[in-house]
Structure 1
Amino acid sequence: MASESKPESKRDRLPFEPSRRKRAEKESAEAVSQAGTQKKAGASKQSSQSALKGRKDGRKARNNAIPEVVSQRMLRRMAFFSGLPTAAGVAVFFGSYFLLTRQILEFPKVFVLLLTLACFGSGVVGLTYGVLSASWDEERVGTRLGWHEFATNFGRMTAAWRAD
């Protein structure tokens, strides 16, 4: 709890990292919209303010978007860390079918189920790891396995959950 009262760390915020002031901005926007609806005399002023707000929201959405370089990096990692285990699961399933039908090797069918399930499950986990192990900094590529980036990004994600 004491860490929440401290100012944010010295690192620069990422363009798509959630800000801590969202609630205050929402409340002030609601107050402005309620005050604007109560006063009919200032209708033209209200429409100009809402147009200005719309432009600001558009800029904010572009600033919060994931940069293309980072997005492609995430996609490559997701394809690798999820694609290999999923392909292995398909290969295990068809390979075991071939071995069992040709009676080359005998083993329990539950073994095939559990091994295929483990491969597909690790493919699902690989999706999450692929996103979190990519460097979210545009200039930095990161390491091959991305363990350091995973630890950093997982910490950012849990901190954002706690902030909400």
Structure 2
Amino acid sequence: MASDSSRDRLPFEPAKKRKKDKAPKSPSQGDSGASSSQSAASPSSSKTSDSPASSRKTPSVKKQPIPEAVSRRMITRMALFSGTPTSLGVLSLLGSYFIIQKEWFPLPSIAVLLVSSGLFGLGVLGLSYGLLSASWDEDDPGSKLGWREFQTNFGRMRQAWKKE
């Protein structure tokens, strides 16, 4: 089962667990308190305490950026799944204003509120769905609606939450 999860690991996922990263941070926080009291005592000790702190930050887990093809795919899907309902929400507000202004028929304000709020809410959900429905594999473009990719990526996200 462990080999199964390592096989599903993406190229831009960090290889180390977060719990291992937390252990070195707590002693360094204690050291920084001690070094700050030493730096007040002598200026030469502040130079030595700064250089190890900066060198500690560089050997941390090397994070690879999200590949360009994957990020473009994510942005495109987020714009589509979020931009469409958000644009319809704005158009519903403008349309209802036009209907009320021309007095074509009485339009209850609660209906305008519910329709526009619903469309803006769908826009917010569309951001998450657009991100998770994109194929995170650089070579696989995925399906049009991305339901299979959404299930895969949401499963990966739930596993990461369980590990935390």
TM-score by length of 2: 0.76
Q: CA deviation at 1:21?
A: 2.5
| Count of equivalent residues | 147
Q: Would you say the 8 A contact 1:18–1:160 is kept in 2? A: no
Q: Look up the match of 2:90.
A: 90
Residue identity matched to 1:13: R
| TM superposition outliers: structure 1 runs of 4+ over 2 Å | 15-22, 24-35, 53-57
Q: Would you say the 8 A contact 1:84–1:123 is kept in 2? A: yes
**1:16 pairs with 12, 19, 27, which one?**
12
Residue identity matched to 2:150: F
Cα distance per residue 1:23-56 (max 9 Å; x no partner) = 2244257669989x9xxxxxx9xx68x74x5554
Correspondence list, 1:53-132, <5 A = 54-57=57-60, 60-61=62-63, 63=64, 65-132=65-132
> Counterpart of 1:14 in 2: which secondary structure?
coil
Correspondence list, 1:126-141, <5 A = 126-141=126-141
TM-score by length of 1: 0.76
Q: Would you say the 8 A contact 1:20–1:163 is kept in 2? A: no
Unaligned runs of 5+ in 2: 35-47
CA RMSD of aligned residues (A): 2.8
Q: Would you say the 8 A contact 2:14–2:62 is kept in 1? A: no
Q: CA deviation at 1:112?
A: 0.7
Sequence identity (%) = 46
Residue identity matched to 1:17: E
Distance 1:111 1:24, change over 3 A: same
Q: CA deviation at 1:115?
A: 0.3
> Counterpart of 1:60 in 2: which secondary structure?
coil
Question: Using the alignment, how far apart are the partners of 1:30 and 1:98 within structure 2?
Answer: 60
Q: Would you say the 8 A contact 1:81–1:130 is kept in 2? A: yes
Q: CA deviation at 1:13?
A: 1.3
Residue identity matched to 1:92: S
